[in-house]
Amino acid sequence: MIVGSAGLMAIELGCRGAAVGLSLLIAGVLLRDRGDMAARLSAALVVAVAASAVSEAPGFPRPWP
């Protein structure tokens, strides 16, 4: 089966969305279960990774050319 560019974009966006969802889930679990400074910093790092994954998505508007 050959997948066209639209199909590949759909697969890529689906995988990116799943990765963002899992990242936010991990951040939530870290904050819920452990309230120390290391857990808060780890959660902030995971949220930053999720934001980076969203901003690098194809079709996402760039702030500069």
How many domains does one find in the chain?
1
Distance of alpha carbon 19 from alpha carbon 5, whole angstroms = 21
- Could you report how far apart the first and last alpha carbons of the chain are, in Å? 36
**Across 6-10, 19-23, 48-52, least confident range:** 6-10
Residue 1 lies in a domain: no
Residue 8 lies in a domain: no
Residue 65 lies in a domain: no
The model carries a pTM of 0.76
Distance of alpha carbon 41 from alpha carbon 22, whole angstroms = 17
In a 10 Å sphere around its CB, with 0-12 CB exposed, 13-18 middle and 19+ buried, how is residue 19 labelled? middle
Q: Which residue, chain included where needed, has tokens 């679990």?
A: 29
Whether the predicted pLDDT of 65 surpasses 70: no
* Per-residue model confidence (pLDDT) at position 61: 76
Residue 6 lies in a domain: no
* 36-62 pLDDT tens trace: 898 889 999 999 999 988 888 877 777
Residue 23 lies in a domain: yes
Residue 44 lies in a domain: yes
Average pLDDT, the chain: 85
Whether the predicted pLDDT of 2 surpasses 80: no
Give the number of other CB atoms < 10 A from CB of residue 40. 14
